[in-house]
Amino acid sequence: MNPNAAKNLIVRNAFLCAAAIAITSCGTATFSKTGSDARIESLRSFQLAFIDEFAVPGKRFNAAAFEAKVNEGNAKFQQAIAEEKFTARRPVLNDLAAQFKADAAHLRSKASRGKVTPALASEMKKDTNKIYDHALGR
Amino acid sequence: MPSAGKTKRRKSSRKKSELDSALGRVSDESVAASMKEFQDLLAQAKGDTSELVRQNAKELEERLVLLKKRKIDKEDFDFFVENQKRDLRAFIDSQPAQAQERTEKLTLHVLEIAARVAIALI
């Protein structure tokens, strides 16, 4: 083979390999980002359902059910943090976990004394949605 | 929809006067200076170019009105103020250095004064 043709072939193959790697890594990043967003949306749904279940004015406070749900929530956040592949997203998930703990502490204090109001429940949900929107960069 | 915009504006100015009149009725001299500073900073925050700063001011104002109407109590109010602070910290850190001081003044500082003002409101 002509040395020039061989050189061109090597250059062409190297270029094709680089392009293939770039395309594959872009695809993986997009896929992981979608998975990461979905995980955050799932945590949002859990947290909103938690508020719906326990921030109910006049509802008798069931401490055992409350603590079980808090433990379930904490485990979900820890799992999400451990599985997160985007290292930049981990502090965001840590903030969301801290917010869940703060919500649980406030709700425990209010619900156990029968001091939940409709405004408290709706403002908590408003805050939750805002915080998750910010976490997702919206 | 122009009519929707008009309704929104009217509602917002009604809320503003509601809070302003409540703040105006506070006779405690020890908080008068804080009150004035709070009203000035809140007005600046509501007119800021950053949506997050405006949103923070609007939420704070709404929650002061809820507190005044006793739909939430001081514990709830303090809890929401802490949430707002936590949410704002990342935003402030992401601002250019020269904008950070102003943003902090119109967000975290306003929230800190609000906690003092809230005591006088209830």
B104 touches chain A (CB under 8 A): no
List chain A residues with CB under 8 Å of B55.
Answer: 130
ipTM for the complex shown: 0.76
A33 touches chain B (CB under 8 A): no
Q: For the segment B38-49, what is each residue's pLDDT rounded down to a tens digit?
A: 999 999 999 999
CA angle A96, A100, A106 (to 5 degrees): 140
List chain B residues with CB under 8 Å of A118.
Answer: 71
pLDDT value at position B10? 47
Which of the residues A92, A99, A106 would you substitute to probe the B interface, choosing the one with the greatest number of B C-beta atoms within 10 Å?
A106
Say if A70 falls within a structural domain: yes
Q: How many domains does chain B have?
A: 1
Q: How many domains does chain A have?
A: 1
Say if A39 falls within a structural domain: yes
Domain that holds residue A95: 35-135
B73 touches chain A (CB under 8 A): yes
CB contact under 8 A, B66 and A115: no
Say if A6 falls within a structural domain: no
Provide the CA A18 distance to its chain's centre, in angstroms.
Answer: 33
Interatomic CA distance for residues B4 and A52, integer angstroms: 30
pLDDT value at position A105? 98
Q: For the segment A97-134, what is each residue's pLDDT rounded down to a tens digit?
A: 999 999 999 999 999 999 999 999 999 999 999 999 99
CA angle B78, A71, A101 (to 5 degrees): 20
B105 touches chain A (CB under 8 A): no
| Residue among A124, A87, A108, A136 nearest B82 (CA) | A124
CB contact under 8 A, B79 and A130: no
Question: Which one has a higher pLDDT value, A9 or B1?
Answer: A9
Interatomic CA distance for residues B79 and B55, integer angstroms: 17
Q: Are A103 and A128 in contact (CB under 8 A)?
A: yes
Say if A9 falls within a structural domain: no
CB contact under 8 A, A123 and B72: yes
CB contact under 8 A, B86 and A134: no
Domain that holds residue B91: 2-121
| pTM across the whole model | 0.77
Say if A131 falls within a structural domain: yes
Interatomic CA distance for residues A33 and A39, integer angstroms: 10
List chain B residues with CB under 8 Å of A130.
Answer: 55, 87
- Which of B55, B63, B79 lies at the smallest CB-CB distance from A106? B79
Q: For the segment B50-106, what is each residue's pLDDT rounded down to a tens digit?
A: 999 999 999 999 999 999 999 999 999 999 999 999 999 888 988 888 889 999 999
* Mean local confidence (pLDDT), A29-39: 74
Range scoring the smallest mean pLDDT among A14-23, A35-44, A68-77: A14-23
Say if A23 falls within a structural domain: no
A94 touches chain B (CB under 8 A): no
